[in-house]
Chains A and B, each alone.
Chain A
Amino acid sequence: MSRARVYATEAIILRRADYGEADRLLTLMTPQLGKLRVIAKGARKITSRKAGHIELFARVRLLLARGRTFDIVSQAEVIEAHRPLREDVLRGGYAHYLGELIDQFTQEGNEDPALYDLLANGLMWICDVPRPALAARYFEMRLLTIAGYRPQLFRCARTNAVLEVDQLAGSATDAVASRSLPETTFSPADGGALCAGAAAAARDVLKITPATLAVMRMLQTATLDQLMAVADKFSDQALHQAERAIRQYLSYVLERGLRSTRFIAEIEREQ
C-alpha cells in the first residue's frame, strides 16, 4: 500500500499536551481515521500561525505530513471554534466531559464516523442550548446507543417482562393515580430497568421514580428540540436521579469513573 506524504482530514481536538520545547501533542478525533495523535510544531509560541487553529475542542481542517512516530500538522484551519466554551466556564466544563467520554469510548485508529458526528453535534449543543446539563445527558444516551450499550428502559433487562410501573400506568387515568405509581429498579450491571422479581435478586442497583424513568426514556427517544421544549417540566429531583443512574451505568461500562464530573459539580455549586 502506498502512502501519500501529506494527507488532509477534518478533526476535533480532543486533548492537547505540551511536547518538547514549543510543540504540542494533539489527540484528534477524525471521521475516517478514528482517534489519532499528531504533533503541532511551535504551537506554544504566541506568534505561531497554527496555535489559534488547534485549540481544544475546535473543529478544524488539517493537512498532515507523515512523520516517524507521529504525523505533523502542516496546515490548520478552523471550521468551528466553539467560542462559548471559552467564555462560559460551565459550558467549557461540559465540553471536557464530552471529550473525556469520547476519548474513553474510542481506541486509537478505529474508524467511527458516527462517534465523530456525535461529538461534533454534542459540542454545538453544549454551546447553544440554554441548559448544557440536559444536552450532556442527551449526549450520554446517544453515545451509549452508538457504542452498543443502549440501556433497556422499556422492559425488564433480565426477564423482558413489562415493568410494574407500566402495568399500573395503563390502568391509571388521572394524575393522582400516576403519582402513586411504584418506583423502578435500575441496574447498571444489567444495563437497564428491572422488574420487581429480577430486582429482588440484583445487587448494586438504584431506585428511580416514575418521573425519572420518564426523563430517561425521553432522553433516549426524543430529539434534542423536543427535549428542550419540555425541559422546564422536569423536576430537579428527576434530573439528578437520571444523571446518577446514567453516570453509574457509564462507570460500569467503562470500568472507571470520569474525571471531569468533579469539576462540573464544583462549578454548578458556585452558581
Chain B
Amino acid sequence: MTTPNRTLPPSVVRLIDAFAQLPGIGPKSASRLTYYLLRAPSEVSLTLADALRDLKTLTRLCSVCLNITERDPCEICSDPARDHSLICVVEEPLDVVAIERSRSFTGVYHVLHGVISPMNGVGPDDLRLRELLARIDKANATRQPVREVILATNPTLEGENTASFIQRKLAGAGVRVTRLARGLPVGGDLEYADEITLSRALEGRQDM
C-alpha cells in the first residue's frame, strides 16, 4: 500500500509501507510506529535494525525438529537430558515456546510449520510431515527408537484433521500415537463451554 501524501520523504514512506505489510498492522498503525521511531533516540531504531538483520541471517531451521534456531541441532535436540523417544508434534515454533513454558514436557519436538487447510490450498505436502516420518524411520532403525508421538496441533478443525492425517500415516510404524487431552480451560465456566469441549471433557473424565 502506498501513502498518497507526496510531501513525505521517501525514506519515511518506505518504512510506513514496510510496517503496513505486517499482519495485524494497518496503514494507521504503520504511520504511528514510523513517527514514534522518528521521534525516539537513534538507538531505538538501530537496535531494531540490527535485530531485524540478525533475525534472518543468524537463524535457520533445526535439521532435526525444524524449530527456529541459531545453532543446529537446536538446544532441545542436542540436550542429552531430554527424552528423545518422545516427540511432540506442533504447528508453529511459538507452540514450542508455550509448551516449554509449562515445564511439564521433557521430550523433544517436531514443528510442522502449518496445518492442513484445504480451502487455503495447504495440503499435507506443504507441511514438514515427510521430515517427521523420515525422522521416525531413522530413529527406529537405531537402538533408540521413537516410543511415542504426541500430536499437539491446535484443537481447531484444521488441527484435528491434521492430527488424524498424521495418525493414519503413522499407523503401522510401531509407534504409540497420542493426542493432547481436550477439556475445560482453567478458570473457565461450564455454562459457557461449547458442546464439543463439554462432550470431550466428559469422555476424558478421570478417577479422583
- Are the CB atoms of A93 and B188 closer together than 8 Å? no
Query: How many Å from the CB of B201 to the closest CB on chain A?
Result: 11
Nearest opposing residue in chain A for B116, CB measure: A263
A47 with B187: CB separation less than 8 A: yes
Complex interface residues of chain B between 23 and 62 (CB less than 8 A to chain A): 23-24
User: Could you write out 16 A-B pairs with CB less than 8 Å apart?
Assistant: A15-B119, A19-B24, A47-B186, A47-B188, A51-B194, A55-B194, A57-B157, A92-B160, A96-B119, A100-B119, A259-B119, A260-B119, A262-B121, A266-B123, A267-B165, A270-B168
- B164 x A55 contact (CB < 8 A): no
| CB <8 Å contact, A96 and B194 | no
B161 contacts A97, CB within 8 Å?
no
Distance between Cα atoms of A37 and B20 in the complex (Å): 21
B196 at the A/B interface (Cβ < 8 Å)? Answer: yes
Say which residue of A55, A95, A100, A262 sits within 8 Å of B123 (CB atoms).
A262
The majority secondary structure among interface residues of chain A is helix
Closest to B98 in A: A46
Would A78 and B194 be within 8 Å (CB), given that A87-B164, A260-B119 are in contact? yes
Residues B157 and A263 in contact, CB atoms below 8 Å apart: no
For residue A20, CB closer than 8 A to chain B, the reply is: yes
A96 to B157, CA, bound (A): 10
- On chain B, the residues within 8 Å of A87 by CB distance are 160, 164
> Size range of the interface on A?
35 or more
Question: Does B156 lie within 8 Å of A89, measured CB to CB?
Answer: no
Determine whether B197 belongs to the interface, using a CB cutoff of 8 Å to chain A.
Answer: yes
- Residues of chain A contacted by B161 (CB below 8 angstroms): 86, 89, 92-93
Within 8 A of A (CB), among B122-158: 123-125, 156-158
Which of B157, B160, B186: most chain A Cβ within 10 A?
B157
Quick one: which of A55, A95, A259 contacts B156, CB cutoff 8 A?
Answer: A55
Neighbouring B residues of A81 by C-beta, 8 Å: 194-196
Question: CA of A53 to CA of B196 in the docked complex: distance in angstroms?
Answer: 9
Encode A242-271 as 1/0 by CB contact (under 8 A) with B.
000000000000000001101110110010
CB atoms of B157 and A52 under 8 A apart:
no
The interface residues of chain B lying within 8 Å CB-to-CB of A86 are: 157, 160-161, 196
| Contacts A47-B187, A49-B188 known; 9 new A-B pairs at CB < 8 A | A20-B24, A55-B194, A81-B194, A81-B195, A83-B199, A85-B157, A89-B168, A262-B123, A266-B124
- Please determine whether B187 and A89 come into contact, CB atoms closer than 8 angstroms: no
A191 within 8 A of B: no
> Whole-angstrom distance between the alpha carbons of A52 and B185 in the complex?
11
Q: How far is the CA of A78 from the CA of B194 in the complex (A)?
A: 7
Report chain B residues within 8 Å CB of A20: 24
Tell me whether B192 and A92 are in contact (CB under 8 A): no
Q: How far is the CA of A263 from the CA of B24 in the complex (A)?
A: 29
Q: Is the CB of A89 within 8 A of B165?
A: yes
Report if A99 contacts B (CB, 8 A): yes
For the complex of A and B, the 8 pairs showing the least CB-CB separation, nearest first, are A52-B194, A260-B118, A96-B118, A263-B118, A20-B24, A92-B161, A259-B121, A86-B160
- Bound form: Cα–Cα A20–B23 in Å: 7
Q: Please measure, in the bound complex, the distance between the C-alpha atom of A264 and the C-alpha atom of B119, giving whole angstroms.
A: 11
Task: Please report the C-alpha to C-alpha distance between residue A88 and residue B119 in the assembled complex, in whole angstroms.
Answer: 17
- For the complex, what is the distance from the CA of A182 to the CA of B196, rounded to whole Å? 52
Cβ–Cβ < 8 Å partners of A51 in chain B? 194
Residue-wise, chain B 157-178 has the 8 Å CB interface mask toward A (1 for contact) of 1101100110011000000000
